[in-house]
Amino acid sequence: MHPKISYIAIGSELLDGRVLNRNAKTLSQFCIHIAPKLHAIFTIDDVESEIQTAIKSLSKESDIIIITGGLGPTSDDLTREAVANLLQAELVRDEEHFDYVKNYFAEKNIPFVENNHKVALIPSSCTKIKNPVGTAAGFYGDYNSAQIFAMPGIPVEFIGMMHETVLPLLEKRFSRNDECKAILKCYGMPESGIADIVEKLDIPTEVTIAYQVKFPEIHIILSSEPEQKELLSSAKSDIHKKLKDIVYSENFESENLMDLLAQKLQTPSSTLEVIDSATSGRFPYELRKYCESDSFPIKDYRYVEQLPITREELNRLAESKNMETDLLCILSDDKSANKLHCYIVDASGKSHFESHQLRHSDIRRSIHAGVAAGKAILDFLTNHQG
């Protein structure tokens, strides 16, 4: 059985809209090879009784409870007090961490005030979690049948502590189940069409299927218990056969199609010239999100009002160009058919022509067109460059 991992996010700023809680997504991604999904997510205020009530409730059905927030030095940071009182433990100062905090402030020439000692306090029955980038120590301990891990809510600190301490502990206790979760990332068909095809297949009930919309993509996520991994593999294969023309990846590591394209273009490094009448600049905008600032692959981008729409005309346009990049990509908007035509050629003369139906007339059309362009380039790189 997969462990049940629950998450408690603490902070009034999460409840009144001042701060978006990105840690829930990060935690799910951290734990994906241990549990297919989080069992429960609670978001609560900085109130000791509410923190204790949430822990009591989740401990009845969770193996692991991850807590973020409420570990700062101010009076409204009450997580350590709430957990200590619940465990009937004293708060004790970790001297090693206290020295680290004092040195941290000294090195930055920041006055060390009395309330900073609070960030070195942990419940006496718990073990410290070292903070590699901040000042507040985390801790972990047991309550009922659950193991509690408490960390700061600042994302960079939370991520550092998960990487260095918590995830290795979880993987040691619960073996990785890489074979118990699968993903098929699709582009080119709406969610309803994909679901209609998948739900007509004879998928065993032991395999759970979920759909995630990342417009204009659809991600199909499959999961099973470890003992049913062969059924999972078979179900994934059956779905892939039916959707092979629109599945572009089976990789959890990339966030979406543009992220995967950025990885392909940067390893090894490839440069692009783009002539665009279809995406209103959306293609380079989306691609830039996933590229290192000093290795953006588009070296020449031009937006023009109108381009030819047939492969022959686009080929002639490409032949008239003096290529100074590894790839030339021409994105043509066929408004009469509501299609994007993408013509790609590399320095050796290999070419690729691909068309995509665009389903929208508002701002989503340019987003759709940008991703369609990315799909065409990804297809070219996969088919012609390995």
Same domain? 129 vs 186: no
DSSP string, 148-203: EEEE-SSHHHHHHHIIIIIHHHHHHHS---GGGEEEEEEESS-HHHHHHHHTTS--
Whole-structure pTM value: 0.66
Q: How far apart are alpha carbons 263 and 265 in whole angstroms? A: 6
The answer to whether residue 386 scores a pLDDT higher than 60 is no
- Domain extent at residue 338: 257-385
User: What amino acid is encoded at 169 in this protein?
Assistant: L
Same domain? 244 vs 305: no
Q: What is the pLDDT of residues 90-106, one digit of tens each?
A: 999 999 999 999 998 88
Backbone angles phi, psi at 65, to 5 degrees: -125, 115
Q: What is the pLDDT of residues 307-337, one digit of tens each?
A: 988 989 998 998 888 889 999 999 999 988 9
Nearest to 276 by CA among 217, 178, 224, 342: 342
pLDDT for 272 equals 94
State how many domains the chain has: 3
Q: Is 303 within 8 Å of 277 (Cβ atoms)?
A: yes
E strand or H helix at 301: strand 298-303
Give the residue from 107, 138, 173 where a domain finishes. Answer: 173
E strand or H helix at 332: strand 327-334
Same domain? 158 vs 208: no
Give the residue from 146, 173, 200 where a domain finishes. Answer: 173
Contacts 24+ apart (CB under 8 A), 284-291: 285/370, 286/258, 286/367, 286/370, 286/371, 286/374, 287/258, 287/261, 287/262, 287/374, 289/258, 290/255, 290/258, 290/259, 290/261, 290/262, 290/263, 291/262, 291/265, 291/266
Same domain? 132 vs 145: yes
- What's the CATH number where 231 sits? 3.30.70.2860
Same domain? 169 vs 182: no
CA 372 to chain centre: 21
- What's the CATH number where 64 sits? 3.40.980.10
Same domain? 98 vs 152: yes
Q: Supply the mean pLDDT for the chain.
A: 91
- What's the CATH number where 298 sits? 3.90.950.20
pLDDT for 29 equals 79
pLDDT for 383 equals 84
Same domain? 230 vs 275: no
Same domain? 159 vs 191: no
Q: What is the pLDDT of residues 198-244, one digit of tens each?
A: 999 999 999 989 888 888 999 998 988 878 889 999 999 999 999 99
- Residues 369, 374, 380, 383: is their CA dihedral positive or negative? negative
Same domain? 264 vs 244: no
The answer to whether residue 294 scores a pLDDT higher than 80 is no
Q: What is the pLDDT of residues 331-358, one digit of tens each?
A: 999 988 999 999 999 988 899 999 998 8
Q: What is the pLDDT of residues 148-189, one digit of tens each?
A: 999 999 999 999 999 999 999 998 888 766 667 889 999 999
| pLDDT over 90 percentage in the chain | 65
**β-sheet bridge partners, residue 129:** 138
Q: How far apart are alpha carbons 315 and 351 in whole angstroms? A: 9
Same domain? 268 vs 119: no
**β-sheet bridge partners, residue 351:** 345
Q: What is the pLDDT of residues 31-65, one digit of tens each?
A: 877 887 899 999 999 999 999 999 999 999 999 99
Give the residue from 126, 142, 173 where a domain finishes. Answer: 173
- Cα radius of gyration rounded to whole Å, the chain: 26
Instruction: Give the other-Cβ count within 10 Å of 348's Cβ.
Output: 8
Same domain? 184 vs 286: no
Same domain? 232 vs 268: no
